[in-house]
Structure 1
């Protein structure tokens, strides 16, 4: 069965994909002080997010199998990079002692998953959302001992954005005909915007927790751009300490 989409709807979906291109460069800039101190590999997360936006726009423009696979696999590799650079050391499997070994394991698993994704492409989206559930579990484990009110607020906002985003995706996925009858065809575009914001909030929170473990001498803190007093903004990490405050043996 061939499904035809109105040109205005395809244009709307492409425009919502460009939200990736707006937020990603800003997050690259905001997180640079932290990445410079911790690891420049962290920039790969938001560089890959630009590719997610690019391939998403391509998919909605062509509605092709190639576009679908590029869209889904780019998301998979964003998750892989996130796992490699941010997954807490204390949660590593017992046979892994350092992050470089863990990163190689993530690479192997991601390559295998990439190849496997061509076997049953219809299952890819559900598998990716399972990764999202695992990230939520990991975040919950990490936040149990957190007393920083700003971090706790950011965690609540991150989860709320993710729940809203996934609700839009599920509703669009399984209730498409219902929403078409109501002449409301914007859920997938809303999903794009919400998931970008969820990644911005969630990844900053994870990076903040990581900074406290890996570079505590930098005295990391949380702020919002463009104004820290605003209720809505892009979260980022500020480093109140410097390498000069690092303890030397």
Structure 2
């Protein structure tokens, strides 16, 4: 009986050929493309340090920054081994990171009517996460599809917030985030459904593109979440979107600064 920690040739495999570049890395490019998560997480934490200092419980944001590295670590392990346990760690780390983000940053204005406080919402999110975790063992092949569907709710929430905001920089950042997400999900679907085509032309790298593109989408998503959180939870400040190193650079890292007094967006 094969070990759940060892290479499995079953349905968890992706389009990239196995052990082409390394005898110990099953999918070479799918593994190393996760480096983008390790680069962007500390950059976002550093640039948004003003928000971390002003937040009532800055440790929350620190925990999220730490948690965002988990998908990168476990995704590397999964693509390195293509094991069953690697697949579950990869997918569950994403689920748990989303649970943390929803618990701490989901706007209270959108809570269900039966939920009155943030603490009650923590319990709701925790219960949902436990149930989802248990269900992920039932049909693991559906996990990735279910996780990607959560993006539609995040896009819907972004659209609702943009309707209340007139800041053109916010709208532009949201548009860039959606652009990267569309490119990312297109790469993911192409790798999953058109593998025969990419293997025929010897270009099976779209899952690697997915890792980089979804990281870029998160690079714009996180400052948007901070921007709206400041608007809701820190009314004495006005959030302002900035770009490092400069607005004029073709490649930038967005972040949020806080200004006084607050003016309604």
TM class by shorter chain equals: over 0.9
Aligned counterpart in structure 1 of residue 252 of structure 2, from 226, 230, 233: 233
Task: State yes or no: 1:35 paired with 2:58.
Answer: no
Farther off after superposition, 202-211 or 144-153: 202-211
**Helix, strand or coil: the match of 1:217?**
coil
Task: State yes or no: 1:210 paired with 2:229.
Answer: yes
**Helix, strand or coil: the match of 2:207?**
helix
Aligned counterpart in structure 1 of residue 210 of structure 2, from 177, 191, 199: 191
- In the alignment, what sits opposite 1:98? 117
Cα drift, residue 105 of structure 1: 1.1
Please give the alpha-carbon distance, in whole angstroms, between the structure 2 residues aligned to 1:112 and 1:228.
44
Farther off after superposition, 212-221 or 133-142: 212-221
Please give the alpha-carbon distance, in whole angstroms, between the structure 1 residues aligned to 2:189 and 2:212.
15
Task: State yes or no: 1:17 paired with 2:34.
Answer: yes
- In the alignment, what sits opposite 1:87? 106
Cα drift, residue 83 of structure 1: 0.8
Please give the alpha-carbon distance, in whole angstroms, between the structure 1 residues aligned to 2:242 and 2:156.
24
Cα drift, residue 175 of structure 1: 0.7
Task: State yes or no: 1:73 paired with 2:80.
Answer: no
**Helix, strand or coil: the match of 1:228?**
coil
Rate the CA distance shift 1:51–1:123 in 2: closer, same or farther, 3 A: same
Please give the alpha-carbon distance, in whole angstroms, between the structure 2 residues aligned to 1:160 and 1:81.
25
Alignment TM-score, normalising by the size of structure 2: 0.87
Backbone CA RMSD of aligned residues: 1.7
Alignment TM-score, normalising by the size of structure 1: 0.92
- In the alignment, what sits opposite 2:18? 5
Deviations along 1:63-92, whole A, 9 cap, x unmatched? 000000000001111111111111111110
Farther off after superposition, 20-29 or 52-61: 20-29
Please give the alpha-carbon distance, in whole angstroms, between the structure 1 residues aligned to 2:231 and 2:250.
24
- In the alignment, what sits opposite 2:3? none
- In the alignment, what sits opposite 1:118? 137
Task: State yes or no: 1:160 paired with 2:179.
Answer: yes
Farther off after superposition, 43-52 or 58-67: 43-52
> Would you identify which runs of 4 or more consecutive aligned residues in structure 1 move more than 4 Å?
1-4
